[in-house]
Structure 1
Amino acid sequence: MPMIKFKTSCLLLSLALVACSENTTQTTTANNVEDNLEQKVNLQHIHQDIKILASDKFAGRGPLTVGETLTINYLADQYKKIGLSGAFNGEYLQPVEMAKLTPNQEMTLTIGDLNFNAGSDFTARTQQIQPIIELDNSDVIFVGYGINAPEYQWNDFADIDVKGKTLVVLVNDPGFATQDNTLFTGNAMTYYGRWTYKYEEAARQGAAAVFIVHETAPAAYPWSVVESSNTGSKYTLIDNNKNASQIPIMGWIDVEAAEAVFSQAGLDYHQLKQKALQPDFKAVSLKSTANLTLENQLTMAKSHNVVAQLTGSEAPDEYIVISAHWDHFGTSETETGPKIFNGAVDNASGTAATVEIARIMAKMHQSKPFKRSIIFANFTAEETGLIGSEQFANGDIIPTKQMVALLNIDGMNVLDSVDYILQYGKGLSEMEDYLAKAAKAQGRKVKMDPRPQNGLFFRSDHFSLAKQGVPSLLFMSLGDTDPEYITHKYHKEADDYSENWSLGGVEQDIELIIDIATQLANNGDWPKWKAESDFKNRRLQDRP
């Protein structure tokens, strides 16, 4: 009888152990399923965030408006709920001191005997902190592309003094105009082709004003974009000298108006445009003077970046930055009522993506902490000159030498998934290798920017960090899956949220970004610049 009792006890114990094991396995499996669900992209979250950020209530998310207050508080609250800490001295909001300048559009540009209307014929604004800036009989000179590039043996300012002069310059660079790959970089725009460079170089040369001739193909957008982007309020950081080193007047002029100015001087715009394609081109006087009174309404104000972080376990002073700008063009008052530029794709989609990436990576961090720290940054005033990212790049939070890399999102594919990922720039940095590896893991191919002539690498917040030497990737989908977007929605009132978006493209790009960020957060690598450039030279100053 005792033997029988022993065997029965063993049997009961064995059954109990099996049951316990099964329960433990089921519990573990349930927990793993829950963790996996938490670490998957939640499209419902993204739909909700975009819908809120791009709602009329947020009034187009204009910096220094009620839209900013709603936006930055919403984002800070999201990061707090996720469990991230504030990255600016423990706070989620990084102050960005800047000036808001609103040019009075009741102005007329006079060149010789010709009068041009603001908005329809030309735009003019400034970054100098001055209530009134005047052109008073300023000599008008055509200086070709307005480029001084020693490495390309090119100097449109050779043998001419343009101090106090008004310059007329061509948009883009000679490589695009000729499609000659031996001239600059051919079809792909260099920084010398960007309007920002042309203003910077003219300021270095001492000019009083620059008017860039707008043509849709080389500019990459229609005149309506120039008008909407330059006639309202603009913002700028402020230096100790009221930005006196900036060009006094930053302008654009419609090509038909430019043709009239050349014709008035007995010159042919298109013939001189062709001559400007030669490196020995010499500046030409347009035999007239310019007069303009630019009045500005000035407001000194404080905007904010939203910054949150996960702190690394082994190298907390080394940072991966994942970013997207939160701002758009706000609300414009018109005779027919307010026009709200909700910017759903550009860039409520990217802003929502950073929040979702933060949620997923926070869960990953809880399970297995990242070795390096990760900062999630939503920048202000990107649309008016990359201002928030420029402030971030100044090192208020962390110096650039501690930034491993930047992954920047500026407009996502809100439609179905695709079998490729776009790469902006070619042969620039080792970040391109990370992009290729992550894309391959998804079964996708890397597709080069289909519009390299647009110079998109120089047009978003990552460029502020690249100029400071931080290797960067841009994730942007503006029109490659929706051909109508650039023409009918980009920087227009029609960029609205739709419940019909599948967000398949958003999902796959978020997964790809997380893959790259996870690798960099754990592998100790410091990606390098490949091509000889100012970016590479700047990085060598930080990390010899």
Structure 2
Amino acid sequence: MAEDLSLSKGVFMRVLEVFLVALVLSGVARAAETPVSFSQESYKDYVKTLASDHFEGRGPMTEGEERTVSYLVEELKKLGVQPGYQGDFIQTVPMASIAASQDMQLDIGELSFEPGTDFVSRTQKMTKLTELNDSEVVFVGYGIDAPEYGWNDYADMDVKGKTLIMLVNDPGYATQDESVFRGNAMTYYGRWTYKYEEAIRRGASGVFIVHETGAAGYPWSVVESGATGSKYMLVDDTGNENELEAMGWIQSKTAEQIFASVDLDFTQLKAAAAKPGFKPMTLGVKANLRTTHWNKMGESKNVVGVIPGTSRKDEYLLLTAHWDAFGKKVGVKGDNIFNGAVDNASGVAGVLELARMLSEREEPLQRSVLIAFFTAEETGLLGAFAFAQQPPVPTRQMVGLFNIDSMNLAGATDYVLKYGDGLQELEDWLEDAAAGQGRRVKPDANPQNGLFFRSDHFALAQQGVPGLLFMDLGDSDPEYIANRYHKPADEFLESWQYSGVKNDLNLIYSLLDKLGNSDAWPGWKEGAEFKHIRQSDLSRPTGN
């Protein structure tokens, strides 16, 4: 009996020893796997610095840009991030500024319209003069050709050299029918940028989009102010000679007058244009418009870095934010520096903090992470489009993108915002990551405004690369939009709370960690506008 007891004690001691060793080893493993912690101190320093007056509002092609770009490059170097664009941290972005003289008049048939009051117009041609000369006017409904929705507003109509009148948004918004496009949620085809692009592809000379506040998502005053100042744009080798002579908007009352002048009811035709089978129609009048411009060439810069991966280093995750704001404004009384603290020093600081967290990992991700700070987002996503047109690596090697365009500085929430719904599989990854924090995903409250298509990730989406937008423009702080958004008052505040930032950056970090150590390639969901582009890109042989 004593011998049996001794044997049992020996077995017990060996089992205990094995258990203790396993416990120690598991503790070491857990310590090694513990994610690097968010540092409120470093994040606050990043955003406070970028939003300071020293950077003069971070306007493109200014001294403020030079200071901003230098700061971002130095911070990436400190973190051990490597150059990410052809062996450099800098991607040069050739740009131009152009302003249209407001000494113009739009004549359609026997009617004459005044700039600002009735219409606005500009161009992206690098010429001193653009003209519509007796250009035939055609109503093309919503100006959409969307095969996946069985819709073509250009059916059987050659619009080369003609001036097109079209409706804003898309038929889904007009009908509020979930079976038509995406119902209330704007699609890519509802964006005014698409409408101009499609008209250019078809050789039109002019486009005038009919403005309605609900469908556009903003009042006429926003359209008017956006067309009367200098606009930045990308320029091709031809000086953009294939662009429209007139990129314009007209008030709804202006459209009503034009249609009434040829005995047509605009309201009835607008309703008809929202139904399948609509056919474009010639109005039987000509458009005339003569516009002079001032233009100037220049260049700006994107800042690009890379954190190399290990076993899958030729597959890339993208982490992006735009560095620009609105610079300094002449003629503004008092404070004339548009510091852009929330929009988007907060997002740039978020990317820098995530870069710090990634660089301090003991075990790098299997996949590489491209970090990009884009210029000129506020003037048309220009830096992002330049990056998408000439990327540092082929787009078929880009797994997915995480874009930060303002952060929640009002305190922790039990949700994370989602822009776009039912478009891409990354939405499912977002749901899982949020659930891991005990949070829910909150859909965009105003999908009709198409915010998914209005930030830098969209430039890569057009090339087929899926991406999530992280943005909190006043959702957690409604006072921000009313009093500080795109104004000198968007400054660093000592009253900010960082618990919301911490939650969101930890969430993005968890997505980077999970996807960066995975062989998954999240794609676009059925019916998404960019699904076929991605499929074509991924199917191309390497080297093409």
Q: TM-score, normalised by structure 1?
A: 0.86
Match of 1:412 among 393, 407, 412: 407
CA contact (8 A) 1:435 1:516 kept: yes
1:81 is aligned to 2:78: yes
Q: Counterparts of 1:210 and 1:489 in 2: how far apart (Å)? A: 33
Q: Counterparts of 2:272 and 2:458 in 1: how far apart (Å)? A: 32
Match of 1:110 among 107, 111, 114: 107
Aligned to 2:443: 448
- Structure 1 segment 77-476 matched on structure 2, within 5 A: 77-286=74-283, 288-334=285-331, 339-364=336-361, 367-476=362-471
Relative distance call for 1:332 and 1:264 in structure 2 (3 A) is farther
Q: Counterparts of 2:258 and 2:58 in 1: how far apart (Å)? A: 38
Relative distance call for 1:66 and 1:116 in structure 2 (3 A) is farther
What is the one-letter code of the residue matched to 1:203? I
Q: Counterparts of 2:284 and 2:337 in 1: how far apart (Å)? A: 43
3-state secondary structure, aligned to 1:358: helix
3-state secondary structure, aligned to 1:133: strand
3-state secondary structure, aligned to 2:330: strand
Q: Counterparts of 1:330 and 1:123 in 2: how far apart (Å)? A: 25
Q: Counterparts of 1:269 and 1:191 in 2: how far apart (Å)? A: 25
CA contact (8 A) 1:200 1:247 kept: no
1:65 is aligned to 2:62: yes
How far residue 487 of structure 1 moved from its aligned partner, in angstroms, is: 5.0
Q: Counterparts of 2:263 and 2:487 in 1: how far apart (Å)? A: 38
Q: Counterparts of 1:500 and 1:258 in 2: how far apart (Å)? A: 48
Relative distance call for 1:68 and 1:317 in structure 2 (3 A) is same
Taking only the aligned residue pairs, the percentage that are identical comes to: 52
Relative distance call for 1:332 and 1:291 in structure 2 (3 A) is farther
Relative distance call for 1:486 and 1:262 in structure 2 (3 A) is farther
Q: Which of 398-407 and 106-115 deviates more?
A: 106-115
How far residue 194 of structure 1 moved from its aligned partner, in angstroms, is: 0.6
Relative distance call for 1:156 and 1:338 in structure 2 (3 A) is farther
Q: Counterparts of 1:201 and 1:225 in 2: how far apart (Å)? A: 23
How far residue 486 of structure 1 moved from its aligned partner, in angstroms, is: 4.2
Q: Which runs of 5+ in 1 are unaligned?
A: 1-24
Q: Which of 398-407 and 419-428 deviates more?
A: 419-428
What is the one-letter code of the residue matched to 1:81? K
Relative distance call for 1:211 and 1:334 in structure 2 (3 A) is farther
CA contact (8 A) 1:225 1:491 kept: no
How far residue 50 of structure 1 moved from its aligned partner, in angstroms, is: 2.9
Q: Residue by residue, what CA displacement relative to the aligned partner does 1:65-103 show, whole Å, maximum 9, x if unpaired?
A: 222212211211221222212212332211112322232
Q: Counterparts of 1:391 and 1:437 in 2: how far apart (Å)? A: 33
CA root-mean-square deviation? 2.8
What is the one-letter code of the residue matched to 2:37? K
How far residue 109 of structure 1 moved from its aligned partner, in angstroms, is: 3.0
Q: Counterparts of 1:502 and 1:210 in 2: how far apart (Å)? A: 46
CA contact (8 A) 2:320 2:372 kept: yes
Relative distance call for 1:191 and 1:368 in structure 2 (3 A) is same
Relative distance call for 1:295 and 1:324 in structure 2 (3 A) is same
Relative distance call for 1:411 and 1:255 in structure 2 (3 A) is farther
What is the one-letter code of the residue matched to 2:351? T
Q: Counterparts of 2:54 and 2:102 in 1: how far apart (Å)? A: 27
3-state secondary structure, aligned to 1:75: helix
Q: Residue by residue, what CA displacement relative to the aligned partner does 1:233-283 show, whole Å, maximum 9, x if unpaired?
A: 223323333323333321122334333434444444333322222223333
- Structure 1 segment 468-507 matched on structure 2, within 5 A: 468-507=463-502
Q: Counterparts of 2:117 and 2:330 in 1: how far apart (Å)? A: 17
CA contact (8 A) 1:340 1:493 kept: yes
Q: Which of 45-54 and 58-67 deviates more?
A: 45-54
Relative distance call for 1:343 and 1:115 in structure 2 (3 A) is farther
Relative distance call for 1:337 and 1:127 in structure 2 (3 A) is farther
How far residue 57 of structure 1 moved from its aligned partner, in angstroms, is: 4.0
Q: Counterparts of 2:369 and 2:489 in 1: how far apart (Å)? A: 34
CA contact (8 A) 2:136 2:285 kept: yes
Q: Counterparts of 1:510 and 1:467 in 2: how far apart (Å)? A: 26
Match of 1:529 among 521, 524, 527: 524
What is the one-letter code of the residue matched to 1:155? N
What is the one-letter code of the residue matched to 2:430? L
Q: Counterparts of 2:480 and 2:249 in 1: how far apart (Å)? A: 23
CA contact (8 A) 2:188 2:529 kept: no
What is the one-letter code of the residue matched to 1:414? L
Q: Which of 420-429 and 264-273 deviates more?
A: 264-273
Q: Counterparts of 2:247 and 2:353 in 1: how far apart (Å)? A: 38
Q: Counterparts of 2:266 and 2:501 in 1: how far apart (Å)? A: 45
Q: Which of 436-445 and 476-485 deviates more?
A: 476-485
Q: Residue by residue, what CA displacement relative to the aligned partner does 1:323-365 show, whole Å, maximum 9, x if unpaired?
A: 011123334434868854433322222111111111111112x
3-state secondary structure, aligned to 2:517: helix
Q: TM-score, normalised by structure 2?
A: 0.86
CA contact (8 A) 2:335 2:488 kept: no
3-state secondary structure, aligned to 1:168: strand
3-state secondary structure, aligned to 1:408: strand
CA contact (8 A) 1:95 1:303 kept: yes
Relative distance call for 1:327 and 1:230 in structure 2 (3 A) is farther
Q: Residue by residue, what CA displacement relative to the aligned partner does 1:288-344 show, whole Å, maximum 9, x if unpaired?
A: 433322222222222111111211122222211100111233344348688544333
CA contact (8 A) 2:132 2:245 kept: no
Aligned to 2:50: 53
Q: Counterparts of 2:375 and 2:332 in 1: how far apart (Å)? A: 28
Q: Counterparts of 1:358 and 1:111 in 2: how far apart (Å)? A: 55
CA contact (8 A) 2:138 2:163 kept: yes
How far residue 395 of structure 1 moved from its aligned partner, in angstroms, is: 4.2
Aligned to 2:39: 42
3-state secondary structure, aligned to 2:386: helix
3-state secondary structure, aligned to 1:278: coil
CA contact (8 A) 2:358 2:364 kept: no
**What is the aligned residue count?**
512
